[in-house]
Amino acid sequence: MPSAPTRNTTVPNLSHVKNDDQSLRSSSPQVITRMLHSQKPAGAGQISSSPDEVTFLRLPGVKAMTGLSKSCLYLLIREKSFPAPVRIGNRAVAWVRSEVRQWALERIGAPR
């Protein structure tokens, strides 16, 4: 019986990759920007302040912006105290950045 063919594989060198919580917290959150009405971006490296531009935040970005955990966020959503996410795909949701920002501003204005 012939032996199974061997495959030469190499393991990538990952010594340059940091594996600590601090590097994960300091990385920028994933942000998704969707242009509406077929508007073209203003240009490379420029940020458009058009009202037709909607920016979405995924869960890590919302957690970083609010300082809340996933379970706390979903509890507040259930209680109608936090903006609900928007479905952006079959298995993906995101929050509208302006809604999360507005929630944060209201929290700052609340009595302490």
- In one letter, which amino acid is 91? R
Mean pLDDT computed over every residue of the chain: 74
Instruction: Band the pLDDT of 81: cuts 50, 70, 90.
Output: very high
Is 43 a domain residue?
Answer: no
Is 12 a domain residue?
Answer: no
Phi and psi torsions of 61, nearest 5°: -70, -40
Side by side, the strands of the sheet bearing 31-35 are 31-35, 53-57, 92-96, 86-89
Enumerate the β-bridge partners of residue 92: 89
Is 4 a domain residue?
Answer: no
Average pLDDT, integer, range 85-106:
96
Domain with 92 in it: 21-37+50-109
Indicate the number of domains in the chain: 1
Is 9 a domain residue?
Answer: no
Is 70 a domain residue?
Answer: yes
pLDDT for the residue numbered 112: 79
Q: How far apart are CA 65 and CA 25, in angstroms?
A: 11
Is 8 a domain residue?
Answer: no
Q: How far apart are CA 104 and CA 70, in angstroms?
A: 16
* CA nearest neighbour of 35 among 50, 53, 49: 53
pLDDT for the residue numbered 31: 59
pLDDT for the residue numbered 8: 54
Tell me the CA distances in angstroms from 30 to 86, 88, 106, 109, one per residue in order.
15, 14, 24, 27
Is 72 a domain residue?
Answer: yes
Over residues 35-74, the pLDDT tens digits come to: 444 444 444 444 445 667 889 999 999 999 999 999 999 9
pLDDT for the residue numbered 111: 86
* CA nearest neighbour of 30 among 64, 7, 5: 64
Is 64 a domain residue?
Answer: yes
